[in-house]
Amino acid sequence: MPIVQELQDFAFSQQGSMTIVRSLGYGLLLLALFDIIEMFIPPNFMNPVWEFQTMGMLVEKVPVPLIGLVLVFFGELHSRTKLEIPILKFLSWLTLLFGILFFLLIPLGLTSTIRLNSQNAAQVQTVSTQKISQADQLEQQVNKASPEQIDKFLKSQGRQTDGKNPQQLKEQLLSQVSQAKQQIKTQAEATQSLRGLSLIKTSVKWNLGAVVAGTLFISIWKGTRWARN
């Protein structure tokens, strides 16, 4: 009966393939566990930068445990050892826990985004204020200096006066300082805008990734009811 023999050979080959596939799945889950441990050592909760980056790493690395779980659950209860049954039950419930945790990451990600945006704005404002303060001090010094002192200072620096009288030189310096102050403000606004846009794009990407990951984990949990019976 060649057909029966072929079916038996196919069944045996499938059994060997399932063993390889499941072993690969367990290996991927272990690698994912190592990554998670590394992310949380050392923990730095309440730090918006750490929280936001950790959330991002969890979302970016989630394909590995997802693929690992699918490979481990492949074939349902066929060709399983007795030791695997409680492991499969544990992993099935773990997918529900991970699904819930990824959904809980979303409000954390949004909160961290708002805190980081405020922190970035404060940093840019601090740097801008310091530079404007220095420009104000220079402006005061120029205002207090006589045209002759400015002329002597420029000549000592080797700068050409281009035939301008001391008063014109003083007005030119004051104009340059005023332009520099305006440029500082413009650059600060541009920097804050670019940082804010980059932060929002990353936040949207990671929060949507958390939604997808949470949905996939819960889908796996629903599809592995057989492992919990």
Structural domain boundaries, residue 71: 2-155+165-228
3-state helix, strand, coil in the chain (%, to 5): 85, 0, 15
What the block records as the tokens of 188 is: 């600060």
pLDDT digits (tens, 9 = 90+) for 90-100: 999 999 999 99
Model confidence band, residue 159 (pLDDT cutoffs 50, 70, 90): low
What the block records as the tokens of 198 is: 């980059």
Whether 172 maps to a domain, the answer reads: yes
Q: What's the full length of the chain, in residues? A: 229
Average confidence (pLDDT) over 89-117? 96
pLDDT score, position 111: 94
Asked whether the predicted pLDDT for residue 67 surpasses 70, the reply is: yes
State the residue for tokens 């120029």. 142
Quote the DSSP letter at residue 83. Answer: T
* Residue 9 neighbours by CB under 8 Å, 6+ apart: none
pLDDT digits (tens, 9 = 90+) for 180-225: 999 999 999 999 999 999 999 999 999 999 999 999 999 999 999 9
The proportion of the chain whose per-residue pLDDT surpasses 90, expressed as a percent, equals 66
Amino acid letter, 110:
L
CA 203 – CA 106 distance, rounded (Å): 10
Average confidence (pLDDT) over 115-128? 93
pLDDT score, position 10: 47
Amino acid letter, 29:
L
Cis-peptide, bond into residue 43, ω within 30° of zero: no
Whether 120 maps to a domain, the answer reads: yes
What the block records as the tokens of 168 is: 């014109």
What the block records as the tokens of 1 is: 């009966």
Question: For 95-134, b where at least 16 C-beta lie within 10 A, e where not — what string?
Answer: bbebbeebbebbebbeebbebbbeebeeebeeebeebbee
Asked whether the predicted pLDDT for residue 58 surpasses 90, the reply is: yes
- The more confidently predicted of residues 154 and 60 is 60
Quote the DSSP letter at residue 41. Answer: S
Q: What is the DSSP string of 18-63?
A: HHHHHHHHHHHHHHHHHHHHHHTSS--TT-HHHHHHHHHHHHHHTH
Whether 109 maps to a domain, the answer reads: yes
Determine which of 80-89, 132-141, 148-157 has the lowest per-residue pLDDT on average: 148-157
Whether 160 maps to a domain, the answer reads: no
Asked whether the predicted pLDDT for residue 38 surpasses 90, the reply is: yes
pLDDT score, position 13: 55
pLDDT score, position 77: 87
Total count of domains within the chain? 1
Average confidence (pLDDT) over 224-228? 93
Asked whether the predicted pLDDT for residue 3 surpasses 80, the reply is: no
Mean pLDDT of the chain: 88
**Among 105, 77, 91, which Cα is nearest to 28's?**
91
> Can you tell me whether residue 52 is helix, strand or coil?
helix
Whether 196 maps to a domain, the answer reads: yes
CA 217 – CA 101 distance, rounded (Å): 10
